[in-house]
A and B are shown apart, each in its own frame.
Chain A
Amino acid sequence: MSANEYQLFYDTVEDRRRVYHERMQPNPLIVRAFALRGTRLWLGTRALVSLFVALAGSHPLRLSAAAIIYVVLLSIAVCFIDTWWNRERALLGNLAVSPPLLAGLFAAPAVIGEVVLSMVGAAFA
């Protein structure tokens, strides 16, 4: 690779990195809207899972680490289904919100909620 080609490659990579870092961050309004949806759907998912766990005779607040991971993944999946149901893929794409970023917005409330529930479960144990 010649020096000029290397510089062109470096500039291209830098340009793209700058685009990601400067423009791809969602503004607080988008974060709030989709994190709220993540919270709502995690609550619904968690309530259903807790119901099944309670019916199975276990403590609904004290899940294993693997079960918690499944709940978080399930809640993210439910959020993506809701996004697909609302046909928001184009809206989010035009807002420069990528699917991994959206997954992060949906995962955050689920993870925080599970941590809080684990602490509450441990306190009542």
Chain B
Amino acid sequence: MIPILRADSIGKSFGGQRILSSATLRAVPGELRVLFGRNGIGKSTLLKIAAGWLAPDSGTLHFEGRLYPSARLSELAAAGLFYLPDHDLLSAAFTVRQQLEMFRRQFAGRNVVDCATRLGIADHLEKRPSQLSGGERRRSELAAVFVRHPKCLLADEPYRGIAPKDAEDLTRAFTDLVDDGMAVVITGHEVPTLLSAADHISWCTSGTTYELGPPAVATRHEAFRRDYLGTWSRATAI
């Protein structure tokens, strides 16, 4: 399948320190892709660049076959991208319903109550995100994705600070989105959860990315096992 989003040969430095030298990111419709990598290795930077949130020093970004020489999130969002950052998406200044309504009206999206019910946050629609738990906030953000129904979702560490039960619900929601034909890319460290849900694994290390393929193949990659999975792969004997 043709990738809807292609970030190629991405390079980025911060204060003279090279974070990414030649990294690549692909988002493919109907596929859940997971980008693994140690903390501070550049996963979030790569996702931010692919979302038009950060400008790369080098490399190109294509969305739906169109080159975006100086992409901005607002521009890519209009074209069908949704970016979940590694901090809260929804504003504390408005209620959850108000923000979901903004998405619905802006993009002729899906019914707010239906999507909130699907994510189990229907009772929290009149609350502000600051009144919700971490898991409820993540589900509210995913409700915004369901309402918006973009073509491509980039989610940076969506499992941060949530209970295992919420993580299960979140994973189910991601797979539902993929079943709807959406291209989804997630970063995270929740190895068992993400390996069980992913269609494709990418590994970010030493400023570049490696396309490791499906989880069954990726977990046989020696360097990935040694340098990232570590004792976990030995403990589970994958």
Contact = CB atoms under 8 A, between A and B. Distances in A.
Interface of A: 12, 15-16, 19-20, 23-24, 26-30, 33, 37, 86-88, 90-99, 101
| Prevailing SS type, chain A contact patch | helix
Given A93-B72, A93-B83, A94-B83, A87 B88 contact: yes
Contacts of B89: 90-91, 94
A27 B78 contact: no
Contacts of A27: 102, 105-106
Given A19-B75, A91-B99, A98-B74, A30 B91 contact: no
A96 B102 contact: no
A86 B92 contact: yes
A95 B91 contact: no
What 8 A-B pairs are tightest by C-beta distance, nearest first? A93-B73, A23-B78, A98-B74, A96-B78, A27-B105, A96-B77, A90-B85, A88-B91
A99 B74 CA distance: 9
A23 to B, nearest CB: 4
A72 B75 CA distance: 27
Contacts of B78: 19-20, 23-24, 96
B53 A90 contact: yes
Interface size, B (range): 20 to 34
Given A86-B93, A93-B74, A97-B74, A33 B106 contact: no
Contacts of A90: 53, 73, 83-85, 87, 89
Given A30-B102, A86-B93, 18 more contacts: A12-B67, A20-B78, A23-B79, A27-B105, A29-B102, A29-B105, A33-B102, A90-B53, A90-B83, A91-B89, A91-B90, A91-B91, A93-B51, A94-B82, A94-B89, A94-B103, A95-B77, A95-B103
B102 A98 contact: no
A90 to B, nearest CB: 5
Nearest to B85: A90
Contact of A86 (B84, B91, B144): B91
Q: Which of B51, B87, B89, B106 has the most CB of A within 10 A?
A: B106
Contact of B53 (A29, A88, A93): A93
